[in-house]
Structure 1
Amino acid sequence: MMDFTSVASVEQWVATSVLVLVGACLQGVSGVGFGMFAAPILAIVAPELVPGPMLFLSLVIAVLSVIRERSSIDTKGLGYALLGRIPASIIAAAMIGVLPIRELSILFAIVILAGIVMSLTRLEIRPTAPVMFGAGCVSGFMGTLTSVGLPPIALMYQSAPKATLRASLGGFLIFGTIISIAALTAAGRFGMHDVALGTWLIAPLSLGFWISNPLARRVSPGIVRLAVLALSGFAALLLLVRQFWV
């Protein structure tokens, strides 16, 4: 298995582990937060972890979320959203294969900021089949490009009970991430090296999710969500500024 320190320093591994741990805890409490919090910061401190290894870790935490609250999952609308994710994931994977690093970084930051705007939206949107399909398309593009694909789907479930929100987002993330990984693999942008790098971070991810178990019943998801959005917004803006000033 590839050694994480072969592509990053020990200091980077420690910093990355802390980011993954905190992101997993936030995800476990609010249903979103892992990618939103960790991905834009990792794009700066350890860009080799985005999107491949982060997508692999997103799959792991999605499975943990569904196992914990599987009885609360909403399966009715997720099928349409997953159907929409397929074509958008293929388009995003193709873009990763042809766009230069600078342009990809700019697009990455813009997508993260768009996700924050979606997360702040308080519109009551009726999750009909066409709407869920459209949300799945947007999620597929965002998730494949940046590993952050939950905001459009979270928008559909923002009025649902907390357990339903967390479980349904986890269920979508499992199959949606598999679709994105398949699209990236077909484009030659995902391989066993991504799995190997992600495997080095499963331990801090699992610890962070375990810490979230008691917190999920005590901490307000709304407060967590706002903290996640503030931190990810700052990181995305910093990444965007770096592309023009560095």
Structure 2
Amino acid sequence: MDVAELILAGLAMALATVVQLSAGLGLGLVGVPLLAAIDPRLVPVPFVLSGLPMMLGQWRVDSGAVPPGMLAPALLGVVLGTAGGMALAILLPGIATRRGYGVIVLLAVALALAMPRLRPTRPMLAGAAAVSGVMGGISGVHGPLMGLVVAHLPAQAVRGFLGLFWLVAYGAILAAAVPAGRLGWQELWLALALLPGIALGAALSGPARRWLHGPRLRWAILGISGAGGIALVLAG
């Protein structure tokens, strides 16, 4: 990348980081399309690598607010779903499209609007996580379904829960990238190039975190999810 592309990539990551640390999700929905337009080599592996420290930090900061019993079914669901998605991608490479993922996300947004007091029960957490895992295993984009399931919880609980969820989901993608030969020195250097943008976004996210809570956080999650679903449908 030249200097101009490096600056643009850093700004894209800064914007995506502000959204992620404020709402608990949005790093992929905002960052991946922008980075792919700048340099396709930046996604998915360098992008995922650079995002791991931020997800770890998001989880560590807010993990104490996560209600007990929520994490186990979600993490089990995303691991099994990701493995299943990877297998499907190998056996049936034409099984999924971005438009299909977008429709699923928009249906989830409609469900969240129709049932504003949706509760994250263990079966619901496991099911949403499994669907997200399958989507991620096939395409590398897990989608915002988990955010919709927990959107009504207190802001710290949402961010802590989603931080660990995305951390595990990204780890599953990297675990698949190693045997596939997609994780090498080039990906590591590109990931390092994205870190200054993440640091800038983290520094700017404080005011947004303080403002986004309660109904504002829920509507932010719905808005980000809806925009991501529409973008996937239009991308086909």
Q: Is the 8 A contact 2:62 2:156 kept in 1?
A: yes
Q: Tell me the equivalent position of 2:202.
A: 209
For 2:200 and 2:225, how far apart are their aligned partners in 1? 22
Identity of aligned residues (%): 25
User: In structure 2, which of residues 152, 155, 176 is the aligned counterpart of residue 159 of structure 1?
Assistant: 152
Matches of residues 221-236 of structure 1 in structure 2 within 5 Å? Answer: 221-222=217-218, 224-225=220-221, 228-229=224-225, 232=228, 235-236=231-232
Q: How many residues align?
A: 230
For 1:119 and 1:49, how far apart are their aligned partners in 2? 29
For 1:146 and 1:120, how far apart are their aligned partners in 2? 23
Indicate the larger mover: 225-234 or 58-67. Answer: 225-234
Matches of residues 22-37 of structure 1 in structure 2 within 5 Å? Answer: 22-37=15-30
User: In structure 1, which of residues 41, 49, 54 is the aligned counterpart of residue 34 of structure 2?
Assistant: 41
How far did residue 224 of structure 1 move? 4.0
1:155–1:55 distance in 2 versus 1, CA, 3 Å: same
Q: Tell me the equivalent position of 2:164.
A: 171
Q: Tell me the equivalent position of 1:86.
A: 79
How does the TM-score come out when normalised to structure 1?
0.77
1:134–1:197 distance in 2 versus 1, CA, 3 Å: same
1:175–1:202 distance in 2 versus 1, CA, 3 Å: same
Q: Is the 8 A contact 1:17 1:201 kept in 2?
A: yes
User: In structure 2, which of residues 157, 180, 186 is the aligned counterpart of residue 193 of structure 1?
Assistant: 186
1:45–1:235 distance in 2 versus 1, CA, 3 Å: farther
Q: Tell me the equivalent position of 2:104.
A: 114
**Runs of 5+ in structure 2 lacking a partner?**
none
Q: CA RMSD in A?
A: 3.0
Matched letter for residue 236 of structure 1: L
Q: Is the 8 A contact 1:121 1:155 kept in 2?
A: no
How far did residue 20 of structure 1 move? 0.8
1:167–1:237 distance in 2 versus 1, CA, 3 Å: same
1:127–1:70 distance in 2 versus 1, CA, 3 Å: closer
For 2:75 and 2:154, how far apart are their aligned partners in 1? 21
Q: Is the 8 A contact 2:120 2:149 kept in 1?
A: yes
